Structure 1
C-alpha cells in the first residue's frame, strides 16, 4: 500500500467518522491516525508507519500491546463462554475480587465490577451518598472523574464540564497543584497549611456538615499529572476523619503500580481510603471498571442491583492475566526506574527550553507544561505543534492539563530503558525543531 493510497483511505475513514460521530468526540492530529495493530510498546498506523507508543491507549494499555499471556487468557475464555451476567457465579470474578480486596488494604472489603471508569465513580457516589443520606460531595479543582452525569459534576476542569446540571452538590477544594496556585510560592509545609485551612473553611461554609464523601485522584490525570507535596493527602485525610467524611481515591489512571510508588497510589501518601475506584489498565484495554470499599459502605445500598456486563468472564480473564503479569514481571519497580530516567531527561531538556514551564510526575505518569517563554501563560498552540511533530518523528504522546497546554507521557509499564532513551532522543529533536 503506497503512502498516497494510505492517505486517501484515511480521508475516507475520517469523512465517514464525521458523518456518524458527534462533533464533540475529539480526535488527535490535523490528520487523525488509525491504529491498526500493536506489539509491545509499538503500534502500526493506518498510514503504514510504526510508532513508539508513549500514551498507551490513554493509559489503558497498561502492560503493552499483544502481550501473549493476556491474549491467550482472552482466547481461552472466549472458547468457553463470553457472557453470563452477575446473576450467576463467575469464578474469575471472585478470583479477581480477592486480589483487589487484598491490595486495597480495606478491612472486610467488597468489590463491585462495572464497565468503565465513569461507571465506577458513579457507583462510588451511589454507595457514599446512600450511606450518608446526603448528596453533598467534596472534589478537587483540576480533577477529572468521567463523562457521565454525576462524574461531570465533580470534574474540576472547565473544558470537560459539559453541563452545570447535577444530581450532586459539589464543593471544590485545593488540589495541591502548585504551579498555578495562589499559594504556590510558599514552602511545602506552609503551602499544605494553606490548603488545609481552605479545606476546613469550605467544609464549614459551603456544606451542611453531612458530606457523603471526598473524591480525589492521588495524581491528577486529565489535569496534567499534577500531584501535591508530601503530607497533603495525609493531613487532608485527618480533617476528613474529624468530620466523618469518607475518602474515595480515584485510581482509574494511577492504580496497579503505574506511579512506581505503591500498588494503589494513595497508599504511597500514607493514606488508606474508605473506597477506591479503578478501571482502564486493569484489563490492559478490555472494558472494565469497579469499586472496592468496606462492607459497611458497599452494603449501604439496599435496593437490588446487578451489572449485566460488569465482571463478565472475558474481561475478568484479561484482568486476572494483567495483574499476574504486573506482579510476575515486577512492573511497579520498572515503572519507578523508567519514570525516574524520563524525568531526569525531560528536566534536563527544560533547562535549555524556556517554553517548558514545568516537568512533573510520578513513575510513568509524566506531565510537561508548556508556556510562553518568560511567563506562565499557557501556550496551547505550541503544545499542539509539539504533539504533531512528535508524531511526525515517530512518537505518540498525549495532551491535557487545566488549560490544554500539558504534554502527557505515559508509556506502558513494561517499557524498556532503551525505549525510554529513544523517546527522549525524539523529544529532544521535537523541541529543537519546534519554536514556541
Structure 2
C-alpha cells in the first residue's frame, strides 16, 4: 500500500477537521529510541513525541515487558467496578508525587476527560458553574473543556455549560500586559483578577483552571510566582485552583516535577495525561480528598485506569524516576534553548525563543514587525522535516514552532536536532527577508 492510497482513504473515511501534518503527510511505521521511520523508509529524529506523549521515546523494553506481563494474564479489561492492582499502585505513586495533601486519584483516558473530571469535582464542591480561565489556553475538545479554552482555533462551539470569565495570560509579545516587566505584569494580572471577580461574576466562583505553560497556545508561560499571587486572591474567596499539567507534568520543564511548583503554590486539583502512558491511553485528576469526594452520585470510568494502561503507567513512572529524566530534560533543554537563542534569536523574523526544559517554542513574525507569520512557520516546519526532524506547530496565530522531545533525549541528539533547526530557520528567514 502506498502513502497516497492511505491518504486518499483517510480523506474518504475521516472528517476534514482532523488535520494532517505536512504538505505530503507521512505514516509512521516503526520507532526506536527517539527516532521514527515512515512508510517510505525515511527515518526522523522526533522532537514532538506524538504531541509530548511518547515521553520515554519508542520501544522501551521496561514498558513493553510490563504490558506483556499484564496481557499474559488474559485480563485486558475489568472496569473500575473491580479491584485493579496496577491502578491502585499507580494511584499511590501519583498521590505521593502530586504534592497535594490527603490526595485521591481518578483515572481517565485523556487530558480532556481529566479536565472534565476536575471541573465536575470543582463545580460540585463549590455548588457553582462559574469558572475562571485564561486567555490563549487549551483544555480539551469536549463540551465543557472547549468552554474553558481561550483559543478561537480550538473552540468549535460557542455553546457552553459553564459561565466563564477570562484572565490575561503570560503573553510577553502582545496584549495589555506585554509592555510590562515581570514584577509589574504579576501586579497587573492580580489587579485584573480582582476586577474580573467584581465585574464578571456573581460570587461563589468554582475554580480557576490554568496551564503553567500553555501548550497549544505556543508554550507561552507567565512569570514565575503569578499563580501564588493569584491564589492569595482565590483563597480569600474560597475559589479552587486547578493546575492543568497535561503537558507540563512529569519533569518536562526540567526545573520542577510539576509546572505549578515554579510558582510556590499547591493546587487543589491537578490534571495529568500524555507522557504517563507513553502512548497508552492514560490520564487522570488528583486532588484533595474533600474536593474530589464532592461528586454526589455514582460515577466510574469504563476504560480509565484499565489494567494494561496502568501497567504501562507504573513502568513509565518507575523508569522516569530511576533515570532522573527531569534532570535530563533540564540539561538537554538548555542545549536547545541556549543554542537557538545564540544562533537565531536575533534574526529578523524570530520574535522569541521560549519555554522550559524540553518544552520549547520559536515564534515567527513578519520581518520588522510583531505581526504573526504562520506562512514562515509552515516553511520552517517543512524544512525541519526535510532535514530529518519532526516538530510541532501551534500558538494562537499558528506561528510557533513547538518542540517537546522525549525526556530520554541524549545530549548528542539535542545537538543534532539543534543543527537541523538552526539550518531550517536561517534558510527560511533569509528567503523571507530576500523576498
C-alpha separation in 1, matches of 2:38 and 2:231 = 45
Which runs of no fewer than 5 residues in structure 1 stay unpaired? 1-7
How far the C-alpha of 1:352 sits from its partner, in A, is 4.6
Match of residue 370 from structure 1? 364
How far the C-alpha of 1:348 sits from its partner, in A, is 1.1
1:276 aligns with 2:270: yes
C-alpha separation in 2, matches of 1:50 and 1:389 = 15
Aligned with 2:21 (options 18, 28, 34) = 28
Match of residue 149 from structure 1? 143
Which runs of no fewer than 5 residues in structure 2 stay unpaired? none
Aligned with 1:391 (options 385, 395, 403) = 385
C-alpha separation in 2, matches of 1:116 and 1:191 = 33
C-alpha separation in 1, matches of 2:20 and 2:136 = 22
Aligned length: 429
Match of residue 71 from structure 1? 64
**Structure 1: which 4+ aligned runs deviate by more than 3 Å?**
none
The alignment partner of 2:401 has SS state of strand
The alignment partner of 2:407 has SS state of coil
How far the C-alpha of 1:431 sits from its partner, in A, is 2.0
The alignment partner of 1:259 has SS state of coil
Q: Report the TM-score when normalising by structure 1.
A: 0.97
Contact 2:133 2:210 in 1 (8 A): yes
Match of residue 4 from structure 1? none
Contact 2:384 2:424 in 1 (8 A): yes
How far the C-alpha of 1:181 sits from its partner, in A, is 2.4
Contact 2:345 2:353 in 1 (8 A): no
Match of residue 375 from structure 2? 381
1:310 aligns with 2:268: no
1:117-156 matched pairs, under 5 angstroms: 117-156=111-150
1:103-252 matched pairs, under 5 angstroms: 103-252=97-246
- CA deviations 1:114-164 (Å, max 9, x no partner) are 111100000001111111111100001010000000000000000000001
Q: What CA RMSD, in Å, does the superposition of the two structures yield over aligned residues?
A: 0.9
Match of residue 427 from structure 1? 421
The alignment partner of 1:310 has SS state of coil
How far the C-alpha of 1:195 sits from its partner, in A, is 1.0
C-alpha separation in 2, matches of 1:159 and 1:47 = 32
Q: Report the TM-score when normalising by structure 2.
A: 0.97
The alignment partner of 1:75 has SS state of helix
C-alpha separation in 2, matches of 1:393 and 1:25 = 25
Contact 2:344 2:422 in 1 (8 A): no
C-alpha separation in 2, matches of 1:268 and 1:429 = 33
